[in-house]
Amino acid sequence: MSKPANKHSDIRELSFERALKELETIVSRLERGDVELEESITIYERGEALREHCDRLLKQAEARVEKLTVGTDGAPKGTEPFDPE
């Protein structure tokens, strides 16, 4: 499904925590199955936009995280990108 670029433009202003909470609410409503078809489609599309926003924010945070490097004398000698793997 293609979405208008600005249909969910308000999402760009949400913090990660707020976007995730709203996404969890949408998933819960869809899992309960008590939402009419048309509303299900609408909130599913919003949920997808929220998921993309959360993913983008996580990638940005990962790019900013650095690991301190320590020399043989135990003193900090600089930083390097953090790689959790």
pLDDT tens for the chain, 85 residues long, are: 444 446 889 999 999 999 999 999 999 999 999 999 999 999 999 999 999 999 999 988 877 777 767 778 877 777 776 666 6
The answer to whether residue 17 sits within a structural domain is yes
Element (H, E) at 66: strand 66-70
Q: Domain containing 68: what range?
A: 9-81
Which is nearest to 82 in space by CA: 70, 69, 21?
Answer: 69
3 inside domain:
no
Q: Count of domains in the chain?
A: 1
The single-letter code of the amino acid at 84 is: P
In-domain check, residue 1? no
Q: Could you tell me if residue 27 is inside a domain?
A: yes
CA torsion 64→70→71→73, rounded to 10°?
A: 160
